[in-house]
Amino acid sequence: MFGAITARTGDEMSGPALLVAGLALTGSPVVASWLLAGLTASAAVGGPLLGVLLDRASHPGRMLAGCLLGYTAGLLVVLLGLGHVPDAALVAVAVLAGLLGPALTGGWTAQLPLLAPAGRLERASALDAISYNAAGLAGPAVVAGVAAAWGGQSAMVVSLALLVAAVPIAYRLPARAHRATGADGEGIRRELAAGFTAIARNAPLRRATVTSMVSYAGVPMFVVAAPLLGAALAGAVAYGALLLALTAGAALTANAVLARRRRTSPSPDTILAAATLLLGVALALAAVAPHLAALAPHLAALAPHLAPARPEPFTAAFGVAALAAVLAGVAEGPQLTALLAVRHREAPPQQRSQIFTTGASLKITSFAAGSTVAGPLAAHDLGAALLAGAGLQVAAVTAYALLSRRPRP
């Protein structure tokens, strides 16, 4: 667990730290955003191949350690090259590093059966999901604190240090009892096809994968909108970071409760659908907050004591946004736990790593796709961006329902 939290915190820091360092050293938000996009967009290519190789490895931990070192080396090259090497070359390096990104997420999770007995796998999966939320809470917060104190480059250095610290832990993960044979190119291609086929043909896996992909494309709408909400509703971008911290904290708490749930709780499939719907409600509620802020001047004209003349924290509008952030976290935590539980339950042992890394890469790519739309849309209309995110959650639940229908005989 410590190794997973360390690696994932470094991973969660790497994106924001790269963005901050890029802005600090080049002064160009375009270059910084290209670096971040390159780091995330290539995950769809790297995930499936990493999964096949991890499933074949007799010592998957050693391969994970190699991926951590490769990812760290790529980020280090980008950091050292900022301002000195052509931007296009650095973006290419970020793309190459991003190919290894799914190993930091799904690659760790796929090794749980090597560590936890079958009877404790469900609880281990819930605790593993907590590590995602803990990393999601700590990563951006550490970047903000370190960057404010010592600069954007320092945040990147801390991220790299955490990634390196996880290497020896990954290296010592247990060996697998057997290893697949036939590591030729044709065999790997067959296994890649088999992995995608396993997801496509297994109804619960297919349903969970499609639902999570559609849902995750809407998550950037809130992530991108949060700083703008903080500025618009409370007068400072820093309050947007508070909203994101509330979301991560609520997700962590919800998963901690979920880890103690009884066996009579709903199935992970039901939790996945319900959590996705709740996430849509949270985003729709967040979309209301800017409209409440727009009413503030009118309320001030009618009764000055009801609304401040200038944005201040803890207004009614910001309170609505904070409530939406908490609800979003309560949804995101169980949603992730349920998704991992479905994968553990349904993944064939010989394709477990591939299914986890492929699923992780598809989610990361969905997030990258949503991010490309979220920025321009939020800049144009905050409420519209958040409603678009809510609409994607409704679309995800609809996809879940459609994929749950049994074919007619």
**What 3 state SS string does 167-182 have?**
HHHHHCCCCCCCCCCC
Q: Which of 150, 181, 212 is the last residue of a domain?
A: 181
> Would you state the pLDDT for residue 93?
94
The CATH code of the domain that includes 112 is 1.20.1250.20
Q: Is 213 helix (H, G, I), strand (E, B) or coil?
A: helix
> Would you state the pLDDT for residue 50?
76
In terms of Cα–Cα distance, which of 114, 128, 144, 103 is closest to 5?
A: 128
Residues 46 and 175 occupy one common structural domain:
yes
Residues 143 and 213 occupy one common structural domain:
no
Q: Which of 181, 210, 231 is the last residue of a domain?
A: 181
Residue 207 in domain = yes
Residues 90 and 158 occupy one common structural domain:
yes
Count: domains in the chain: 2
- Calculate ∠ Cα 142-282-289, nearest 5°: 85
Question: Domain range spanning residue 295?
Answer: 201-409
> Would you state the pLDDT for residue 131?
74
Q: Is 2 helix (H, G, I), strand (E, B) or coil?
A: helix
Residues 175 and 230 occupy one common structural domain:
no
Residue 34 in domain = yes
In terms of Cα–Cα distance, which of 270, 117, 120, 298 is closest to 207?
A: 270
Residues 296 and 396 occupy one common structural domain:
yes
> Would you state the pLDDT for residue 309?
46
Q: Which element (helix H / strand E) includes 218?
A: helix 203-234
How far from 252 is each of 346, 348, 364, CA to CA, in Å?
Answer: 25, 29, 20
Start-to-end CA distance of the chain, whole Å, equals: 46
Identify the DSSP state of 314: T
* 29-41 helix and 87-98 helix, angle to the nearest 10 degrees: 30
Residues 345 and 211 occupy one common structural domain:
yes
Residue 186 in domain = no
> Would you state the pLDDT for residue 307?
47
Q: Is 42 helix (H, G, I), strand (E, B) or coil?
A: coil
Identify the DSSP state of 184: S
Residue 196 in domain = no
Q: Which of 126, 149, 181 is the last residue of a domain?
A: 181
Whole-number Å distance between alpha carbons of 125 and 339:
10
How far from 22 is each of 52, 144, 222, 240, 349, CA to CA, in Å?
Answer: 33, 14, 23, 21, 41
Residues 153 and 6 occupy one common structural domain:
yes
Residue entry with tokens 């009801």: 306
Residues 230 and 159 occupy one common structural domain:
no
Residues 113 and 258 occupy one common structural domain:
no
Residues 364 and 217 occupy one common structural domain:
yes
Task: For 96, list phi and psi in degrees, rounded to 5.
Answer: -65, -40
Residues 216 and 94 occupy one common structural domain:
no
Contacts of 161 (CB under 8 A, 6+ apart): 10
- Calculate ∠ Cα 217-237-6, nearest 5°: 60
Whole-number Å distance between alpha carbons of 157 and 154:
5
User: With a cut of 70, which residues of the chain have pLDDT below it?
Assistant: 1-4, 28-30, 33, 106-107, 109-110, 112-126, 129, 133, 136-137, 140-141, 144, 148, 152, 176-188, 191-192, 195, 236-238, 241, 261-264, 293-314, 407-409
Residues 30 and 166 occupy one common structural domain:
yes
Alpha-carbon 121 to chain mean position = 22
Task: For 370, list phi and psi in degrees, rounded to 5.
Answer: -65, -35
Residue 193 in domain = no
Residue entry with tokens 């509330």: 246
**Which two three-digit tokens encode residue 228?**
């703008």
Residue 188 in domain = no
Residue 194 in domain = no
> Would you state the pLDDT for residue 215?
96
> Would you state the pLDDT for residue 387?
95
Handedness of CA 156, 158, 159, 165 (dihedral sign): positive
Residue 47 in domain = yes
How far from 204 is each of 44, 77, 273, 302, 345, CA to CA, in Å?
Answer: 21, 41, 12, 55, 10
pTM of the model: 0.71
